[in-house]
Amino acid sequence: MNLQTLLTAVEAYTQERLSQYIEELHELCSIDSYSYHKSGLDEIVLFLAARMRGLGMHAKIFERESWGNDLLGTLPGKGGGNVLLLGHMDTVYPVGIAASRPVQVEEDIIYGPGVSDMKGCILSAIYAIESLLAMNYHAFGEIRFLCVSDEEINTRHSQDVMQIACEDALVRVIPGISLLLMDGQLMQVLNQRKGAMQLLKWLIRYCNFRI
């Protein structure tokens, strides 16, 4: 399977499941996940951990006493090159906003707290992994997906799990944002829509993936 064939198949797979994606996004965004709201963040972690495990990923929850828990999912492959996906579950919205501003879909636009930054992006990464597995694509060393709960605040408690997740990761990607880190060098894709396709090509070539 060549690169273009794989990309086309992944796009078709995700498009067919768009309604399911929106339903799950509704569920995620109905949970208040303010950076200081531990119970809501922990609920998000349980949702995502179950979703990852359903794909055959190992999902480890890093429990925090006062802050929201963090989550690291790993999926071993049969090729070379480890890739780290990094996302955050916390939002800037105080408790109560999820109920007062529920997710709404108007034509091709989705509105709601966290739909873009960044619950929708986290869910998109889940679907991307799911689609690769559906294509029987395992030409990677390991895919790691780290979801932290402290991105929107200055008090960071996730440095420990970040260090663990970054070990031996050739490429680190923030889903939904055109940024990637390769060998410690930050690169930016200027056009996000076109850049997403280019980003996938870079990942495959950089990690010596075989498709």
Between 183 and 157, the more confident residue is 157
How many domains does the chain contain in total?
1
- 185-188: strand order across its sheet: 58-62, 70-76, 142-148, 82-88, 171-173, 179-182, 185-188
pLDDT in tens, 31-85: 999 999 999 999 999 999 999 999 999 999 999 999 999 999 999 999 887 888 8
Alpha carbon distance 94, 107 (integer Å): 28
**Residues 143/160, Cβ–Cβ less than 8 Å:** no
Asked if the structure places residue 211 within a domain, the reply is no
Asked if the structure places residue 145 within a domain, the reply is yes
Q: pTM for the full model?
A: 0.84
Report the CATH number at residue 202: 3.40.630.10
What domain range is 187 assigned to? 3-206
Maximum average pLDDT range among 64-68, 175-179, 206-210: 64-68
pLDDT bracket for residue 186 (50, 70, 90): very low
Q: What is the pLDDT of residue 191?
A: 37
Asked if the structure places residue 126 within a domain, the reply is yes
**Residues 140/209, Cβ–Cβ less than 8 Å:** yes
> Residues 125-151, buried b or exposed e (16+ Cβ, 10 A)?
bbbbbbbbbeeebebbbbbbbbbbbbb
In this prediction, residues 183-204 reach a mean pLDDT of 44
Closest CA to 68 of 161, 173, 144, 175: 161
Inform me whether the pLDDT recorded for 102 exceeds 90. yes
Q: What is the pLDDT of residue 176?
A: 53
